[in-house]
Structure 1
Amino acid sequence: MTYRLPDLEIPADNPFQNDSLDREPVVKFLSKLIGRLDGPFVMAIDSPWGSGKTTLVRMLMEDLKSNEFQCIYFNAWDVDYVTDPLVSLVSSIESINRGAAVGHMKTVKKVATLLFKRSLIVGVKALTMGTLDLGEEVNAAAAELASDTVGDIVDAFNKERELLDQFRTELTLAVDQLPNEGKKPKLVFFIDELDRCRPTFTIELLERVKHLFNVKNIIFVLSIDKQQLEVSTAAVYGASINSMEYLRRFIDLEYGIPAANSRKYTESLITRFGWDTILAGSDENDWNENGRKEFIESFTLLSNVMELSLRARERCITRLRIVMDEENARDFSPHLVALLIVLRSNQPQLFKDFINGDASANTVMESILSLPKGKDLQSDSYGHLIHAHLLDVDIDHFEDNKRRLEMKSNDGGVDASERAYVDKVLATNQQRTLRVLDYLRVKERFARIAPLIDLAAMIK
């Protein structure tokens, strides 16, 4: 059973084969832009968590590689347990350690090791008051950087600067050898998941990029949620810091990812979770061509109104699969279950009030329609179906729901678009009601499904 979708496959020979978000135009635009850049340069691809940045970055990287760019992918979150990001950054550029670049890369690694040792030992010596014996070579480095006289401190600073200069020079020479390997004379370095790291690690990595990797023909592409990055900055330097201005020191250009094709994404989730196979031929669940389309449109619409991230939508579909795999849910409509799962995930109190009978279907819909994007649901041709699905199971308020909707339908003071929406809800509900022969059976079925949805919401 599929409860966790694997990472989307990005084939090297066709990066857009599984492009469920219509990202190809964005990737092609960024690819051409990067091709025109002359490093050193830092670009930030900014978008909230769960909006598909990693998939876009992987497509972009494969597209660049197909055009003979040397690319490196670095997942910062995978290594944020290390003391200094320098070691892992240098380790990740092993891919250019070949041909004429070998000698230069050896020096780069050697210098990086010395820089790491110096920073590490000074910190350890300070914490242990100099009582820790770390070996001759390392203690010598510590002595140079921890001397008491002003002259020694200046000398230590000059030695540090010389090492930094040597690091940048050798790295530049290594990148210059890329054309000898049939590559463009640029190194494109992708750093992903930076905004999920420890604040101190995040800031130190940015500092390392700025001061050590600020060399000719190296372009960094940071995948970030800038809002979270600003929070990390404030966590390190205090709330009084102007995080936005501070981050401008590191980022030369920002690009905000445009909104994805959310309908296509829903369809992709349906396919990847195997819904067509699971529900094919089930008259009870209405999973036919029309039912499938209705589900995709209504789930996409509700997700947009609720402003769910792509990751949140996947989580809701995961919970839907878990609930529908339960025997007690087999005869229940996935359209309604998905609606209730979204409601439980985003407005748990309203969900609780509805299943307990303290809030009617009309009350739930009024709350949803009052959201900033709620009017989109009212104006969409599929919006009324969401309302009708809730009416199907709100047996306790059946007459009251119907009466209130009819009053709105006959009220000349109600906006014409709202009245048209209400008329569609009433017409759809009337068609559905003709099939409901046993209200007690509906109520009993709803009593079985509601606890399952509540339990599924606990799955993260």
Structure 2
Amino acid sequence: MTYRIAELEVPPESPFLNDGLGRKPLVEFLASLIGKLQGPFVLALDSPWGTGKTTLVKMLKATLEQQEFQCIYFNAWQVDYVTDPLVALVSSVDRLSLGTGEAESAFRSHLKTVKKITSAVAKRGAIAAAKAVTLGALDLEKDIEAVAAEVAGGLAGDAVDAFQKETEALAKFREELEAAVAQLKRAGKKETLVFFLDELDRCRPTFAIEMLERIKHLFDVQNIVFVLSVDKSQLEASTAAVYGEKINAQEYLRRFIDIEYMLPVIKGEAFTELLFKIFNLDEIFAKRSNSELRYDRKHFVEFFSAIADVTELSLRTRERCIARLQVVMDQTPENNYLFAPLIALLIVLRTINKSLFISLKNGSTAASDVMHYLRGLPGGLDFIETRMGILLEIGLVLADENGERKDEVLSDLNNQVVAEKADQINGRASKLQKMMGYFNNFDYDGPRLSSMVNKIELASGLKS
């Protein structure tokens, strides 16, 4: 049984083979946009963590490569242990191959100078960092002066000359890098080199900011386009961590990003259906052929998708929820009642609001408390008025194992129904009472909260 989804395969020859979210039109739009950019240019694809950015970027990379663009995929999080991000960036360029002709030879020649300057810059930065760390431990004034002179590039009187030499070296870096990229066209490729920089928002704050600085000051050359895959709010937090809370992080990041594109949030049942396919849940639900159980799959997909939308679950969190459903199904015999709508709600609550889930488990929380929580969510007020919201509320009431509280709620509900009928209105109480029919269809007196909660608690031991 599968409890964790492997990374989605994006075949280079068929980028949309596993596109269960229907992102082909978006990818093709972005590919068309990038194809029109001359560079230097930085495009940021903004979306929260866990919303499928990496898969989208890999589809985009494969699409552009089919159009003869030379692309580099660069996971910043995997290399944030290096002292200088410049080393990692140049290393990724060095792995490119333009074949065996003159273009490749010229590319290597120009890149040799780029690598040489990179090594000098990285070594200089490492010396400065080391001296900054040890400076406080030095005792003698002459030692401090010696350290300062070394970091500055020589004696105090040579500081201006050292600065001028460094400026010239960095200008040479950009010149040689641009000349190297110019060989793409000679090799029969599109003239633009596209960098896909992923997971920058998960890096150490200092590394993330240094990476942006390197891109801005050293890779700002003709025919290089960067596509940053980021959660911009996290990148803003990194900026504040480096420069202090008072900095205007949004304005600061605008120095580095030319255009931001907010990726649309995936909602509805499409991703749930994809997860069912990947986790092989259809095979499990197909065995539930009893007349009263055959709708369990349909009801779970419908209710889970709606609840996940209201609670704004990321795709990664939805994946974690379906992994927990796997465990629940493993504990539920194929001829036993699942009460899919309540299972869907409880799995989501255990994932995003553990304290509310635990209080339900302990019996200290009533159905009304859960509905109050849902009502306070964006879109929650509309949701609880739907057929699904009403069914969930009465289901929680009937599943309550505090007999005294349950009887009191049902008695109050009956009184409200009588009052609504007297006023000739079809209010919420009447709708709740009618929805009890869903649970009355079962051959005993309804769901048991403890049974459902215990299955989900076992599932919650999964680490995903």
Q: Is the 8 A contact 1:44 1:221 kept in 2?
A: yes
1:11 aligns with 2:11: yes
Separation (CA, whole Å) in 2 of partners of 1:323 and 1:434: 22
Amino acid in structure 1 at the alignment position of 2:410: K
CA contact (8 A) 2:117 2:173 kept: yes
Greater shift in the superposed pair: 178-187 or 210-219: 178-187
SS of match in other structure, 1:241: coil
Compared with structure 1, are the counterparts of its residues 178 and 422 closer, same or farther at alpha carbon in structure 2 (3 Å cutoff)? farther
- Consecutive unaligned residues in structure 2, runs of 5 or more: 99-103, 139-145
CA distance in 2, matches of 1:357, 1:300: 27
Q: 1:347 aligned to 2:353?
A: yes
Match of 1:41 in 2: 41
Q: TM-score, normalised by structure 2?
A: 0.87
Q: Is the 8 A contact 2:198 2:229 kept in 1?
A: yes
Aligned to 1:297: 302
CA distance in 2, matches of 1:414, 1:67: 71
State the one-letter code of the partner of 2:434: A
Residue 410 of structure 2: which of 390, 402, 409 is its match?
402
Cα distance change of structure 1 residues 361 and 122 upon mapping to structure 2, 3 Å threshold: closer
Structure 2 counterpart SS, 1:254: strand
Q: CA deviation at 1:348?
A: 2.5
| More divergent stretch after superposition (313-322 vs 225-234) | 313-322
Structure 1 segments of 4+ aligned residues over 6 angstroms from their partners = 327-330, 413-417
Which whole-Å deviations, capped at 9, do the CAs of 1:318-364 have from their partners, x for residues lacking one?
Answer: 12213332468983515432321111222333322323333333442
| Contact persistence 2:239–2:249 (CA under 8 A) | yes
**SS class of match (1:49):** coil
The answer to which of 398-407 and 52-61 deviates more is: 398-407
- Assess if the C-alpha contact under 8 Å between 1:378 and 1:384 holds in 2: yes
Shift of the 222–88 alpha-carbon distance from structure 1 to 2, 3 Å rule, reads same
- Amino acid of the structure 1 residue aligned with 2:120: L
On the 8 A contact 1:360/1:401 being kept in 2, the answer is: no
Q: Quote how far apart the aligned CAs of 1:183 are.
A: 1.1
2:233 maps to amino acid: Q
2:378 is paired with a residue whose SS is coil
Q: How does 1:422-433 map to 2 (within 5 A)?
A: 423-433=430-440
Is 1:451 aligned to 2:454, yes or no?
Answer: yes
- Pair 1:84–1:422, CA change in 2 (3 A): farther
Deviation at 1:380, TM superposition (A): 4.1
User: 2: distance between equivalents of 1:13 and 1:416?
Assistant: 64
Alpha-carbon deviations, 1:359-417, whole Å to 9, x = none? Answer: 33344224323423113323545444433543452253544443444455555599999
Q: TM-score if structure 1 supplies the norm length?
A: 0.87
Contact 2:327 2:458 in 1 (8 A): no
Match of 2:258 among 252, 258, 282: 252
CA RMSD of aligned residues (A): 3.0
How far the C-alpha of 1:28 sits from its partner, in A, is: 1.5
The letter of the residue matching 2:80 is: D
CA distance in 2, matches of 1:420, 1:26: 43
Q: Which runs of 5+ in 1 are unaligned?
A: 132-138
Match of 1:28? Answer: 28
Name the CA distance, whole Å, in 2 between partners of 1:17 and 1:154. Answer: 58
2:74 matches 1:71: no
Contact 1:285 1:332 in 2 (8 A): no
Looking at structure 2, the residues matched to 167 and 63 of structure 1 have their Cα atoms a distance apart, in angstroms, of 30
**Distance (whole Å) between structure 1 residues aligned to residue 369 and residue 424 of structure 2:** 20
Listed as ranges, the matches of 1:129-208 within 5 Å are 143=150, 145-150=152-157, 152-208=158-214
| CA contact 1:96–1:175 (8 Å) conserved in 2 | no
Q: Is the CA contact (8 Å cut-off) linking 1:298 and 1:386 kept in structure 2? A: no
Residues 327 and 10 of structure 1: CA distance in aligned 2, closer, same or farther (over 3 Å): same
- Percent of counterpart pairs with the same letter? 48
The alpha-carbon distance between structure 1 residues 409 and 349, as it changes in their structure 2 partners (threshold 3 A), is: farther
**Contact preservation (8 Å) 2:308, 2:318:** yes
